[in-house]
Chain A
Amino acid sequence: MLELVTVSLLNGLVYGLLLFMLSSGLTLIFSMMGVLNFAHASLFMLGAYFSYQLGRFIGFCPALVVAPLLCAGIGAAVERYGLRHVHRHGAVAELLFTFGLVYLFEELVIMLWGRNAVAYGVPPSIDFPLFSVFGGSFPAYKGLMMAISVTMFVSLWLALKRTRIGLVVQAALTHPQAVRALGHDVSAVFVLIFALGSGMAGLAGVIGGFALLTAPTMADAVGPIVFVVVVVGGLGSLGGAFMASMLIGVVQTFAVAIDASPLDMMSRLHLTVARGSLLYDFLAVKIAQAAPTLPYVLLVLMLIVRPRGFLGTRD
C-alpha cells in the first residue's frame, strides 16, 4: 500500500508539473491578452516533434534548447500576423482563430511526419535509474522532467518579479492602456508573452514527448485536460493553475493504479445489482478505466460548487 502511494505520488508529481508547464503558459497569455490560445496544446505537440527531428540531427541536449525556441518563434508569428488582426472582430473571433490553428497544426504534422506515432523514445543519455523506491526504480528522465519544470518556474518567477521587463509585463497584465501611455511598447510585450507561453509549451513537449506518445493526436489528448486545469484553477490565476495541475496530476495517476470498480466494493458488502442495466454498467466501470474522465468530472463538480474555480476572481 505504501509502495503504491509513494510511486503514484511521484508519478503524479511529474505529470502535475508537466500539466502546470502547459497551463502556466496558457494562463500567462490569457491574463495578459484575454485570449485563450486553443492551439496551446498544438505547440506542445510541435515541441515534441521538433525535438524528435532535431534530436536525430544534433542530439537531445541541443534540441532541448532549439525546439522550444522554434515553438516560441511560431507563437510570436501567430500573435503578430494572426491574432492581432483578428482582435478587432472580438473575443469569439480570436477563439475561433486559435481553434482553426489546431486543425492547421495537426494537419501540418501529418503532412511532415505521417499519421502514425514517431519513435521518440527516452534519449539514452538520460535513460538510467536515478534511485529506487520499494524495489522499483525511479528513472532519471522523470527526474530531469521535474528538474526542468521547477527550474523554469523559478526563472519565470524571478524574471517577472525581479527584472525591469517583468515589471512592465506585470503592469501590462492589468493596465495595458496606462503602460502604453507611459511609452512602453505594449504590442511588443504581447508578442513576447505569446512567444514565452508558446516556448514553455514547446519545452513541455520536448520533455513530455517521450513520456507520452508523440503522434498527431497528441494535442487532442492533452489539450482538453489543460483547459480543464485552467478553468478548475480559476481562469487567469497562476496559483490556481498550479493547485489544479497538481490535483489532477495526482488524482489521475492514483486512479490509473486502482484496478477495482464500485461493484467490487459492493460485492464485498454483499450488495448486488442486476446485470445488463445502466446502473450496473456505471458501477462496473473500473476506476482505472474511468481515470481519463476524472478531470472532466472534477470540472463539472467545480462548476456546481464554485463556478469561478479555486482562485478565480471573476464569476
Chain B
Amino acid sequence: MGRAISRRWPWLAAASALAVLPHLPGLSTNFGRSLLSQMGIAALFALSYNVLLGQTGLLSFGHAVYFGLGGYVAMHLLRAVDGGLPVPVPLVPLAGALGGLFFGVLFGSVTTRRAHTVFALISLGIGELVYAATLMLPSFFGGEEGITANRSRGPRLFGLTFAPQIEVYFVIAAWVLLSAALLHRFTRTPVGRMCNAVRDNPERAEFVGYNTQRIRFIAFCVAATFAGLAGGLHALNYEIVASEAVSPARSGNVILMAFCGGTGNFIGPVLGAAVITWLQVSLSDYTSAWLLYLGIFFLALVLFAPGGLSAIVLSQAALLRTRAAGALLKGYSMALLPVMAMAAGAAMLIEMPYRMSTQPELGTRMRLFGHHWDAATPWPWLLALALIGAGLWLLRRAWPVVVAARQLGARSRD
C-alpha cells in the first residue's frame, strides 16, 4: 500500500499541477493558457523523442515527420468531424497517434536497419523527403498554406464546445499526462529495458539472443506513435497543420529540447520542452538573435554538462543537502555578478552586429539594457569588452571557492 502511494504521488502531483497552472495569476490569460498548451504539446513530443535518443541511443534528425504526419491525419479527421462525422473532438488526437504509428512502421522498417551515424543520416534524408512531399502533393497536405478545420463544430460533450483555450488545454493536459504515464511504464517493460541494452552494448544484446534491429524498430514505432499523438494535439490546438509541422527545423528543435532538458532521466525532456518553449516565446520579443543564444547554450551543455538541465538541477540539489551548502552558496553568490557582467558584455557584442546586419534600415542607434547606444562609435564595443574582461578577472577569484565547496560536498557525500 505504502509503495503504491510512493509510486503514484509524482503523478498525482503532476495532475494537480496541470489542473492548477492555468488558473495561476499570470497564466490565467488566454496567452498564458496557449503557452501552457504549447508547452504540453512540446513536452509530449520531446518525451516521445527521448524513447529514441535517451532510451535506445538512436539520434534521429527527422522526428518531426511523425509529429507532422500525425497532425495531418488528425486534421483530416477533424475536417470529417466538421462535416458531420460523430466523433468526439477530444478523441481526434488518437487519429494522429495512429497516423504516427502507420508512418513509423512504414519508414521505421527502412531506417532502423542501421544504427548510429547511418541511422541519423537516413532519418535526416526521410525528413527532407517528406518535407518536400508536403509541398508537392497539395490534395492531402494543402500545399504551403496547409489544411485547416474548426474544432468547435464537433458533437458537444458535457456541454463543452472546445472553442475556448482552457477547454483545449485540459484535453491536451489529459493526453499528455496519460501518455507520459504510458511512456514511463514503457521504460519499465522488458522491451523498454532491452532498448537500454541495445543502446549500451548492441553486440552483447545480440549475443544474448535479441534481434537489435527488431528492438530498434519497436522503440521507433513507440516514439512515432506518441509523436503522432503530439501532432494530433497540435492540430487540435492551432486548427491548422502546415508543412512547417514536418520541417527539418522542427526536427532540430525537438533535439534541442530533449537534450537541453536531459536525456538521462524521464522528466528531462519535459523540463527542456517547457524551458525552450518559454524562451522561444519570451526571448523572441526582445531579440531576433535568440537562436544564436540557444545554439551557444546547447553547445555549452554538450561540452560541459551532457546530462542536461535536469542533471544539473539534481546534482546541485544533492550538493546543497550536504554540509558544503553554505560554502557553495557563498561561492555562487561571488560568481553571480562576474558571470552576469560577462553575459551582458557578450550579449552586447552579439546584439549590435546582429541588428546592423539583419535590420540595416534601422541605423546604428539602438536600445539595449534600457540605454541608448550608437554602434557607430567605439564606446559600446569597448564597454562590452571591458565588461567581459572585468567579469573574467573577478570570476577567476570566485571560482576556486566554488570548486572547493564542490569538493567538500562530494567528500561529505561519500
Instruction: Judge whether B294 and A103 touch: CB under 8 Å.
Output: yes
B-binding segment of A50-58, A160-168, A184-192, A295-303: A295-303
Complex: A113 Cα to B252 Cα, angstroms: 23
Q: Which of A280, A300, A315 has the most CB of B within 10 A?
A: A300
- Say which residue of B120, B132, B292 sits within 8 Å of A95 (CB atoms): B120
- Say which residue of A86, A91, A224, A235 sits within 8 Å of B128 (CB atoms): A224
Min Cβ gap B200→A in Å is 10
Interface residues of B in 69-123 (CB under 8 A from A): 110-111, 113-114, 116-118, 120-122
Residue numbers in B under 8 Å from A315 (CB-CB): 114
Instruction: Judge whether A277 and B139 touch: CB under 8 Å.
Output: yes
Q: In this assembly, does B314 line the interface, its C-beta being within 8 Å of a C-beta of chain A?
A: no
Instruction: Judge whether A112 and B357 touch: CB under 8 Å.
Output: yes
Instruction: Judge whether B136 and A227 touch: CB under 8 Å.
Output: no
How many pairs, one residue from A and one from B, have CB atoms within 8 Å of each other in the complex? 134
Residue of B at shortest CB range from A231? B121
B-binding segment of A7-15, A175-183, A281-289: A281-289
Instruction: Judge whether A281 and B113 touch: CB under 8 Å.
Output: no
Q: In this assembly, does A65 line the interface, its C-beta being within 8 Å of a C-beta of chain B?
A: no
Q: In this assembly, does A138 line the interface, its C-beta being within 8 Å of a C-beta of chain B?
A: no
Min Cβ gap B8→A in Å is 33
Instruction: Judge whether A307 and B125 touch: CB under 8 Å.
Output: no
Q: In this assembly, does A268 line the interface, its C-beta being within 8 Å of a C-beta of chain B?
A: no
Complex: A307 Cα to B213 Cα, angstroms: 13
Q: Which secondary structure dominates chain B's binding surface?
A: helix
Given contacts A281-B137, A304-B110, contact A293 B132 (CB under 8 A): yes
Residue numbers in A under 8 Å from B291 (CB-CB): 103, 107
Q: In this assembly, does B164 line the interface, its C-beta being within 8 Å of a C-beta of chain A?
A: no
A-binding segment of B166-174, B218-226, B296-304: B296-304
Complex: A58 Cα to B126 Cα, angstroms: 42
Interface residues of B in 266-304 (CB under 8 A from A): 289, 291-292, 294-296, 298-299, 302-303
Q: Which secondary structure dominates chain A's binding surface?
A: helix
Q: In this assembly, does A119 line the interface, its C-beta being within 8 Å of a C-beta of chain B?
A: no
Q: In this assembly, does B358 line the interface, its C-beta being within 8 Å of a C-beta of chain A?
A: yes
Min Cβ gap A305→B in Å is 11
Residue of A at shortest CB range from B110? A303
Residue of B at shortest CB range from A296? B129
Interface residues of B in 126-141 (CB under 8 A from A): 126, 128-129, 132-133, 136-140
Complex: A147 Cα to B306 Cα, angstroms: 44
Instruction: Judge whether A113 and B53 touch: CB under 8 Å.
Output: no
Residue numbers in B under 8 Å from A270 (CB-CB): none
Q: In this assembly, does A82 line the interface, its C-beta being within 8 Å of a C-beta of chain B?
A: yes
Q: In this assembly, does B186 line the interface, its C-beta being within 8 Å of a C-beta of chain A?
A: no
Q: In this assembly, does A206 line the interface, its C-beta being within 8 Å of a C-beta of chain B?
A: no
Interface residues of B in 214-272 (CB under 8 A from A): 248, 252, 255, 259
- The residues of B with any CB-CB pair to A shorter than 8 Å are 53, 57, 59, 61, 110-111, 113-114, 116-118, 120-122, 124-126, 128-129, 132-133, 136-140, 248, 252, 255, 259, 289, 291-292, 294-296, 298-299, 302-303, 306, 350, 353-354, 357-358, 360
Besides A92-B57, A227-B121, 13 other CB < 8 A contacts?
A86-B306, A93-B302, A103-B252, A111-B289, A111-B292, A111-B354, A111-B357, A276-B139, A290-B136, A293-B132, A295-B125, A296-B129, A303-B111
